[in-house]
Amino acid sequence: MHTSRRTFVRGLAAAGVAFPAFREDAFAHLFRANTIAGEKSAAAVAEDELYWSEIARAFDADRTMINLNNGGISPTPSHVLEQMIRDLKFTNELPVEHMWRILQPRMESTRRELAKEFGCSPDEMAIVRNASEALEIMIYGIDLQRGDEVLVTNQNYGRMITTWQQRERREGIVLKQISFKVPPPSDQYIVDQFRAAITPRTKVIEITHITNLTGQVLPVREIMRMAKPLGIEVFVDGAHAFGQWPMKRDELEVDFYGTSLHKWLHAPIGAGFLYVRQSKIPKLWPLMAAAESQASDIRKYEEIGTHPQANFNAVSAALAFSQGMGLDRKIARLRYLRDRWAKRLMSESDRVKVLTQLGPDRSGAIGFFNVDGLDPAKLGGWLLEKYRIVNTPIIHPEFQGIRITPSVYTTPAEIDTFADAVLKAIKSGIAS
């Protein structure tokens, strides 16, 4: 069935998708991609290279290298970057007027659209610079007494563990790090590991929605249901989760959630959000001081002094692009690319172990593997030097391997080049 661009826009608008600053050719790529997809299921679109080639053209990715570390920072679509640059130039013409009086109020549109996507009120959505800032607001903002206990896992993001350790040194709180098997045998096993570590002094649990190490999705809702009746606050680090697949606040039942938007939402570098349930805002102090009159205002977490507004406002364009693509299609594609290399390596060599669960609800784009007999740091360096494949070797006290994270612009040919290289290393070694 023929679909006009006008019909396409109307359909997306009816679904709540806004298009704040689509450059004409960026819009054209998305329109053509959705025309190709038609009524096909997300699983079918995941393998449709015509569709994904159109999506890839919206990115000015460096194809002289194969970027398989999109979990660190992802490129942003070209039109999103151009909106940010345009606003930076506009700011520079007369900053006190253009940035403070014109651009800064427009951030309310970004707040509204992000809140709608996450399923919360705009008055519960703070725009921050990254997940670390969101989590540090939580960690430093909660009142704790000497001897109060905080539970994390030893797979939490290192900066967050360091932040808790600083409070431990300064204030005498007690940080307890629990361990869990990689991969874990079940969601209940994870919940039980936390439950076993809880004491009457436990006040906070901080968990990752999806670990930055192996890409394991943790059972956030089940941990919330375990902790809430005990009066324990749960802080969720969603740095690697939001933007990969559709999710809503009420499905997770969270009270606190922080994420970066320059990973899977493809927003410009330096954008994230902090969600705090309305009833919890008064008890969570801001990282930088705010007036007493702001005690119940989510915007108190944005009091960081003078800062560029352009990258925050460009989040709206990144969100619109992601919504236009469809998060159900997006996660189906990311899991298709993950399975393409992971299942091939496991089927062709018994020396390969994938330490990420590959089930549809257990992980997303991130996959983590090791090869018996090959040092992951040396293998990772060899892949970069010989094949120009960007990867992430990880050495944890309890496991080691290489993290692989493709994105929506990654091609199957790039995935196959990576798999071919690993199999060559297994067969011939990496000495030469």
pLDDT of residue 35: 81
Task: Band the pLDDT of 282: cuts 50, 70, 90.
Answer: very high
Confidence of residue 16 (pLDDT cuts 50, 70, 90): very low
Q: What is the pLDDT of residue 2?
A: 45
Check: CB of residue 264 under 8 Å from CB of residue 235: no
Per-residue pLDDT for 128 more than 60? yes
- Tell me the two tokens of residue 54: 């159109």
Place of tokens 């960026």: 26
pLDDT of 23 reads 52
Question: Residue 25 — pLDDT band, cuts 50, 70, 90?
Answer: low
- Each residue's pLDDT tens digit, 200-211: 999 999 999 999
Alpha-carbon torsion (245, 250, 252, 255), positive or negative = positive
Helix (H) or strand (E) holding 61: none
- In the chain, the amino acid numbered 60 is D
Can you tell me the distance from the alpha carbon of 5 to that of 28, in angstroms, rounded to the nearest whole number? 9
Distance CA 260, CA 271 (A): 6
> For residues 275 and 118, what is the distance between their CA atoms, to the nearest angstrom?
9
Tens-place pLDDT, residues 98-124: 999 999 999 999 999 999 999 999 999
Round the average pLDDT of the chain to a whole number and report it: 93
Query: Domain coordinates of the chain in residue numbers?
Result: 90-319, 329-428
Sign, CA dihedral 274-276-278-281, equals negative
CATH architecture of 90-319: 3-Layer(aba) Sandwich (3.40)
Is residue 24 scored above 60 in pLDDT?
A: no
Share of the chain above pLDDT 70, in %: 93
Name the band, by pLDDT with cuts 50, 70 and 90, for residue 21. Answer: very low
The secondary structure of 130-197 as a DSSP string is -HHHHHHHHHHHB---TT-EEEEETTS-HHHHHHHHHHHHHH--EEEEE---SS-S-HHHHHHHHHHH
Average pLDDT of the segment spanning 360-366: 91
Task: Please give the average per-residue pLDDT across 241-265, as a whole number.
Answer: 97
Higher-confidence residue: 25 or 18? 25
Burial state string for 253-269 with b = 16 or more CB within 10 A and e = fewer than 16 = ebbbbbbbbbbbbbbbb
Peptide bond into 183 cis (omega under 30): yes
The CATH number of the domain covering residues in 329-428: 3.90.1150.10
* Mean pLDDT score, 50-60: 93
- Give the pLDDT mean for 208-217: 96
Q: Looking at the DSSP assignment, which residues form a beta bridge with residue 399?
A: 396
Dihedral angle of Cα 241, 243, 248, 249, to the nearest 10 degrees: 60
Backbone φ and ψ for 88, nearest 5 degrees, come out as: -65, -45
13 has pLDDT over 80:
no
Rounded to the nearest 5°, which phi and psi values hold at 210?
-140, 130
Residue 258, helix vs strand vs coil: strand
What is the per-residue pLDDT for 28? 67
Give the CA distances from residue 337 to residues 139, 156, 197, in Å, rounded to whole numbers and listed in that order. Answer: 35, 25, 37
Q: What pLDDT shows up at residue 361?
A: 85
Tell me: pLDDT of 1 over 70: no
Token pair listed for 291:
């007036």
pTM here is: 0.92
Convert the pLDDT of each residue in 154-188 to its tens digit. Answer: 999 999 999 999 999 999 999 999 999 999 999 99
**Which residues, 6 or more positions from 353, have their beta carbon under 8 angstroms from its beta carbon?**
346, 369, 370, 371, 372, 401
